[in-house]
Amino acid sequence: MLKIEDLVVAYGGIEALKGISLEVKEGQIVTLVGANGAGKSTTLRTVIGLVKPVSGRVLFQGRDLLAEKTHHLAKQHITLVPEGRRIFAKLTVLENLKIGAFSRRDEKGIKADLEWVFSLFPILKERSWQLAGTLSGGEQQMLAVGRALMSRPRLLMMDEPSLGLAPLLVKEIFRIIKEINQQGVTILLIEQNANAALRIADQGYVLETGRIVLQGSGQELLANQQVKAAYLGKRRGI
């Protein structure tokens, strides 16, 4: 579904991505694992068109995405849950969700998806008239995910959805990611919580300073000694 080929991205002459290639197949959960500054966010931001690469290709079902403007991608049902949530703090919860469906015209479908999001996150329904900025961190994260779902994504990219959440909520978020995926949404996930991410992932890539150094199924990477040492630490459980 999504194919990245030899992608090179530089910020002011410094290469953040040094030619990475990866593939996300339809229906999969694919995760990018790596330390801060490895280029994970840059990869997602390039796919969505917020960063222009030096060279390389990004293909979505065979079509080159790099030629597309960011605001056209929502119409192709490609969306991003950005790092740090980036909800619209001074819009209400309901308005945030409606913004997620901005490029859609099918009022009935939007309504149905709104009910779907409310069933995934009942707290958002309760708070739909509240300003989004007044939500707690966990609720804001749910809103960011819900907002992305409102575009009825085929490809959903998520940048650190569990960042800063309490352990119980982290568990909940991963359960929901899995559930969204089971509804047929393909997911490209970045997580600092490599353990939890690899457990739900069909495929994983390990990034190190702008290069892919390892790839394999979630299970393979979980068992890999290198990965264990570098990213999984001693912490178990979550």
Partner 1 sequence: MSIDLFLQHLSNGISLGSLYALIAIGYTMVYGILRLINFAHGDIFMMATYFAFFGIATFRIPWFITFPLVLVLTAALGMGVEAVAYRPLRDAPKISLLISAIGASFFLENLTIVLFGGVPRPFPAPKLFTDVVQVGTVAIQKLTFYIPIVTVLALLGLVYLINKTKTGMAMRAVSMDHETAQVMGININRTISFTFGLGSLLAAVGGIMWGMKFPQIQPLMGVVPGLKCFIAAVIGGIGNIGGAVIGGFILGIGEIMLVAFLPNLTGYRDAFAFVLLILILMSKPTGILGEKTAEKV
Binding residues (CB under 8 A) for partner 1: these are 48-50, 69-75, 79-80, 82, 86, 88-91, 95, 98-100, 102-103, 147, 151
Residue 109 vs 167, nearer CB to partner 1: 109
Q: At closest approach, how far in Å is the CB of 103 from partner 1?
A: 3
Please, which residue, 17 or 132, has the CB nearer to partner 1? Answer: 132
Q: How far apart are CA 54 and CA 4, in angstroms?
A: 13
Query: Based on CB atoms, which residue is closest to partner 1, 90 or 108?
Result: 90
CB of 231 to partner 1, least distance (A): 28
Distances in whole angstroms, Cα of residue 24 to Cα of each of 77, 110, 141: 15, 27, 24
Minimum distance from residue 85 beta carbon to partner 1 (Å):
9
Minimum CB–partner distance for residue 88 and partner 1 (Å): 5
Give the whole-angstrom CA distance, residue 31 versus residue 52.
22
Residue 63: φ, ψ to 5°: -95, 140
* Of 34 and 100, CB closest to partner 1: 100
Write the DSSP string, 116-174: HHHHH-HHHHHTTTSBGGGS-HHHHHHHHHHHHHTT--SEEEEE-TTTT--HHHHHHHH
Q: How far is the CB of 71 from partner 1 (least distance, A)?
A: 5
Pick the closer one to partner 1 by CB: 90 or 234: 90
- Cβ(200)–Cβ(30) below 8 Å: no
